[in-house]
Amino acid sequence: MGRQRRLCQICKQKGQRRESVVYMKEHRLALCEEHFKEWFERRVRETIKEFKMFKPSERVLVAVSGGKDSQTLWFVLNKLGYDADGFFIDLGIGDYSEESKQKVLELGKILGKEPKIVKLEQELGAPLPVVQNLVMGSACSVCGRIKRYHFNKVARELGYRVVATGHNLDDEASSLLANVVNWNVKYLARKYPVLPEEKGFPRKVKPLVKLTEEQIRLYADLSGIPYTDRSCPMGDTANLHFYKGIMEQIENHARGTKYRFYFEYLKKIFPIFNSLKEELVKGELRRCTVCGEPSPSEVCFVCKLRERIKEKSPS
Amino acid sequence: MGRQRRLCQICKQKGQRRESVVYMKEHRLALCEEHFKEWFERRVRETIKEFKMFKPSERVLVAVSGGKDSQTLWFVLNKLGYDADGFFIDLGIGDYSEESKQKVLELGKILGKEPKIVKLEQELGAPLPVVQNLVMGSACSVCGRIKRYHFNKVARELGYRVVATGHNLDDEASSLLANVVNWNVKYLARKYPVLPEEKGFPRKVKPLVKLTEEQIRLYADLSGIPYTDRSCPMGDTANLHFYKGIMEQIENHARGTKYRFYFEYLKKIFPIFNSLKEELVKGELRRCTVCGEPSPSEVCFVCKLRERIKEKSPS
């Protein structure tokens, strides 16, 4: 992607001259603002249809974090006419969470849709920085589990059968690479832009998987979508950034490899691993005896956490 | 690998103090010359046994190029007591081939074994630079096909059921990465340190797959093995070098990943792809009607080449 002075190729076809706002090398395509936005939205619509993510009649719960990807997703789904609501978990990570929430509320105003907001402190009895001190594992993995729990729970409680997240092509290709390098087969067997509804879990979909970070940022900026660029102060994203850097080098070495690596995986390799899933992903899900959510153990991770927080609190 | 001033850990265990010649970070192991050589040789012997490459009673034909890897392989197999002979194809690439041949002859003298030498010009009627101009495809791919043809042919004619090549861990891990990034499934289904004898092909083995380039170079230098460091002037190795560089970055990011990536592949993933081989690798081999070697087409690649060279030559 670059912003050299080129003419928009769509305008050119129509006999018009308009300067492009973007040149996408991997597609050899220069587009003006209007046609870039059109192209972007078409690509999201095509992705939703190609992977049978959801029908226009289905309500979609968008997991928004206040960052560019999920904010753009919420915005573009509404622009495409889908019935998409925002859902934000206030993790209670100081200024960071505050700023993120403000961006989500701002976008809600633009879309005329009130976002659902869950405050972790109310749910669990403590914000993430406190929770993190009580458990083993990295902050990101603990936070991920807590967020997934609440996506599932809130979606079920409010009657959404679909939860959408803002994962983009860079996220997916680089995490695929990291998981391939470590042959994390369990993960590979579930790496797909749609995970079907099952055992009390809503369908999970990633409508932005055909778009790069740069394309999403440009679309957000051109569309005036509010978002925060701050990264989580608790997050240890060194590994993710490392593999994004490696993927960029590979992309620069042979243009188009990033896309091919991910989508050829989906086409040729995923079906192989997925067919072995039963062997690979052992252990069945039951219901948590406390909250009733799906869980591999008798009491789920979040209920155990809640109990622990109660024990530790001085009340 | 580094050469800091550390003491040999094996000597230390025996109550002796000897300075190390190498510290291998990935094994956390510092060794003196004597114990490094022992370690290296043991690792080759273990690899041969683990992958059931060949028995001590089997004669092995080593494909030597004059470079450090194949020269070391020929040397170490003899040191371990195997009956290993060197086989060199003189491609006729000017000084490069001449110097390579000299190194092979030198090592033959050290081992007291005359290498088999085939001169491409005699076999085909022209050296590689001329052949290359007559066909499509990169020099490396043409050369690879010609070499494989002659390894097979010479092994059969001279009664060797095993051909060994000097591929090392860096070669294997980086080519695995390149093939994974492009999901070259046909290749992945055959990526193994032993390819069994079949349909007129000798068994192909790679006894150095557990050793890195650096370890092999050090062993060669310490053992006084003659080799050339020149790389082929016709070769376009940019892609291979690129992926070696990427693999090194990944290794530096998380020590031990290179080894794990390759050997976990062999253990967990290769069996899956290999079981699908029949579907993936279509087309059966028959015999070339001219030379009788295995070939996917009626007349094999090399016989076609020979014919073409004859047509073009002014005789």
The mean pLDDT value for A202-211 works out to: 97
What is the model's pLDDT at position A136? 76
Q: Report helix, strand or coil for A183.
A: coil
Amino acid in position B62: V
Per-residue pLDDT band for B314 (boundaries 50, 70, 90) equals low
Q: Identify which of B3, B221, B226, B9 has the alpha carbon closest to the alpha carbon of residue B109.
A: B226
Q: Which residue in chain A is spatially nearest to B174 when comparing CA positions?
A: A181
CB pairs A-B closer than 8 Å: 45
The mean pLDDT value for B8-12 works out to: 96
Q: What is the pLDDT of residues B169-210, one digit of tens each?
A: 999 999 999 999 999 988 898 889 999 988 778 999 999 999
Query: Directed axis angle between helix A33-50 and helix A213-223, to 10°?
Result: 120
Taking 3-state DSSP, the helix, strand and coil percentages for chain B, each rounded to the nearest 5, stand at 55, 15, 35
Q: Percent of chain B beyond pLDDT 90?
A: 68
Per-residue pLDDT band for A77 (boundaries 50, 70, 90) equals very high
The mean pLDDT value for A92-110 works out to: 96
What is the model's pLDDT at position A73? 98
Complex ipTM over 0.90: no
The token duo for A5 is: 């002075």
Q: Do B182 and A261 touch (CB under 8 A)?
A: yes
Could you tell me which residues come within 8 angstroms of residue B32 by beta carbon, excluding any fewer than 6 positions away?
B8, B10, B11, B18, B19, B20, B21
Q: What is the pLDDT of residues A165-190, one digit of tens each?
A: 999 999 999 999 999 999 998 889 88
End-to-end CA distance of chain B: 56
What is the model's pLDDT at position B102? 98
Q: Report yes or no: B85 and B203 within 8 Å, Cβ to Cβ.
A: no
What is the model's pLDDT at position B41? 98
Residues of B in contact with A272 (CB under 8 A): 272-273, 276
Q: Which residue in chain B is spatially nearest to A268 when comparing CA positions?
A: B183
Q: Do B185 and A268 touch (CB under 8 A)?
A: yes
Amino acid in position B111: L
Q: Do B183 and A268 touch (CB under 8 A)?
A: yes
* Rounded CA separation A72/A113 (Å): 15
Q: Which residue in chain B is spatially nearest to A254 when comparing CA positions?
A: B239
Has residue A4 got a pLDDT over 70?
no
Q: Do B183 and A269 touch (CB under 8 A)?
A: yes
Has residue A2 got a pLDDT over 60?
no
**What domains lie within chain B, and their CATH numbers?**
1-31 (no CATH), 41-281 (3.40.50.620)
Mutation target vs A (from B183, B186, B236; most A CBs, 10 A cutoff): B183
Mutation target vs A (from B174, B180, B181; most A CBs, 10 A cutoff): B181
Has residue B2 got a pLDDT over 60?
no
User: Which residues of chain A are at the B interface, by a Cβ-Cβ cutoff of 8 Å?
Assistant: 177, 180-183, 185, 242, 246, 249-250, 253, 257, 260-261, 264-265, 268-269, 272-273, 276
Q: What is the pLDDT of residues B96-146, one digit of tens each?
A: 999 999 999 999 999 999 999 999 999 888 898 888 888 877 788 888 889
Task: Pick the more confident residue, B285 or A205.
Answer: A205
The token duo for B76 is: 């170490």
Has residue A314 got a pLDDT over 80?
no
Residues of B in contact with A250 (CB under 8 A): 181, 246
Q: Where are the beta strands (DSSP E) in chain B?
A: 22-24, 29-31, 59-63, 83-90, 116-119, 162-164, 194-195, 203-205, 286-287, 294-295
What is the model's pLDDT at position B280? 61
Has residue A274 got a pLDDT over 90?
no
What is the model's pLDDT at position A315? 55
Mutation target vs B (from A179, A183, A261, A265; most B CBs, 10 A cutoff): A183
Q: Which residues of B116-136 are buried (b: 16+ CB within 10 A; e: fewer)?
A: bebebbebbbbbbebbbeeee
Q: Which residue in chain A is spatially nearest to B258 when comparing CA positions?
A: A181
Q: Which residue in chain B is spatially nearest to A273 when comparing CA positions?
A: B272
What is the model's pLDDT at position B240? 85
The mean pLDDT value for B142-166 works out to: 92
